[in-house]
């Protein structure tokens, strides 16, 4: 019988570097197939389009491979002009 899954942790951050550029990161705890960290850049191309590129780093003991993450976000709303980067 397999052991029951335990609790995990998901952390993320965004830090503005410029008006349209954010440093971003995510961390998923554990030693399983989804246990990775990602560190990258989020570019606010338009009010509704965000382009993200980051390095995917496996957690120790997870046996995952390193990689690259590319993300295209199509927002269903217009980001406000006076909102801080990453905020709506």
- Residue 63 located in a structural domain: yes
> Is residue 35 included in any domain, yes or no?
yes
Tokens matching residue 79: 């980001």
Band of the pLDDT at 88, cuts 50, 70, 90? very low
Mean pLDDT, residues 8-34 taken together: 94
- The pLDDT of 38-46, averaged and rounded, is 96
What local confidence, expressed as pLDDT, does residue 29 receive?
A: 92
Number of domains composing the chain: 1
Query: Which domain covers residue 37, as residue numbers?
Result: 28-74
Q: Looking at the domain assignment, is residue 17 inside a domain?
A: no
Question: How far from 45 is each of 42, 49, 63, 71, CA to CA, in Å?
Answer: 9, 5, 35, 12
Reduced to 3 states (helix: H, G, I; strand: E, B; else coil), residue 36 is: strand
pLDDT of residue 16: 97
Residue 86: which pLDDT band, with cuts at 50, 70 and 90?
low
For residue 44, tell me if it sits in a domain.
yes
What residues contact residue 83 under an 8 Å CB cut-off, 6+ apart? none
Would you say residue 85 lies in a domain?
Answer: no
Task: Kindly provide the residue ranges of all beta strands, DSSP E only, lying in the chain, ordered along the sequence.
Answer: 10-18, 21-28, 36-44, 49-58, 67-74
Task: Answer whether residue 88 is part of any domain.
Answer: no
């Amino acid at each position: 019988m397999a052991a029951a899954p335990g609790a995990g942790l998901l952390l993320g951050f965004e830090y503005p570097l410029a008006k349209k550029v954010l440093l971003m990161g995510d961390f998923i705890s554990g030693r399983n197939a989804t246990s990775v960290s990602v560190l990258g850049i989020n570019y606010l191309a338009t009010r509704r389009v965000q382009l993200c590129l980051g390095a995917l780093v496996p957690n120790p003991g997870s046996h995952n491979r390193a990689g690259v993450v590319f993300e295209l976000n199509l927002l269903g709303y217009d980001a406000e002009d006076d909102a801080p980067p990453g905020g709506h």
